[in-house]
Amino acid sequence: MNKKTYIIAVIILIIDQISKSLIEIFIDLEESITVIPNFFYLTVAHNTGGAWSIFSNHSYLLIIASIIAIILLIKFMFGFKNNLRNNLAFAFLFGGIFSNLADRLFLGYVRDFLDFKIFGYDYPIFNIADITIVVGVFLLLIAIIKGEDRRDKSSK
C-alpha cells in the first residue's frame, strides 16, 4: 500500500472525530432531530458495545478485537495487489477502526448519531467510521472474489 492510503485513513479518522464532536455540541444525548421524516434522524447515542450493541459494557473485548483486526489488516494488506480499490479499502478500514477505537479508549463508548428507519425497521444508530468499515470490507470482498488477495510471484 502507499502513503496515500495512510493519509486517507487519517483524514477519515479526523472527519469522524470532528463529526462526532460537533453532533454532541449541538444535540443532547438521546435527543433526536428529524432530517427526513420517517427516514433519517440525527440521534446522539453512546454505544458501549459493537454493531447492534453486541458485547455491551464489554469495551475491553472490543478494544482487543480492534487491535487484533488492525494487526491482521497490516499483515494481510501487503498480500493484496496495489491498486486504487484495495488502497481505499484498507484506508477506509484503518480510518474507521482507529476512530472507533479512539472513542472506546478515551471515552469508554463509541459516539453514534446517524439514525435511519428503513421500510419500518429502526436501524441501529451508527457513525461515519462504521460506514467506512462496511465499505472497506465490501471493497476487500470484491478484491478477494477477483483474486486480488494474492500477488503474482513476479510482483514480490
Per-residue pLDDT of the chain (156 residues; tens, 9 = 90+): 689 999 999 999 999 999 999 999 999 998 999 999 999 999 999 998 766 666 566 677 888 999 999 999 999 998 899 899 999 999 999 999 999 999 999 999 999 999 999 998 999 999 999 999 999 999 999 999 998 887 654 544
Q: What is the pTM of this model?
A: 0.88
The length of the chain is 156
Active-site annotation holds for 149 = no
Q: From the candidates 16, 103, 112, 115, which is the catalytic residue?
A: 112
The residues facing 36 across adjacent strands are 40
Q: From the candidates 16, 103, 115, 130, which is the catalytic residue?
A: 130
Active-site annotation holds for 16 = no
Classify each residue of 46-81 as buried b or exposed e, where b means 16 or more C-beta atoms within 10 Å of its C-beta. ebbbbeeeeeeeebeebeeebeeeeeebeeebeebb
In the chain, the amino acid numbered 63 is I
Find the helix or strand (DSSP H, E) in which 122 lies: strand 121-122
Q: Which of 80, 86, 100, 93 is CA-nearest to residue 136? A: 93
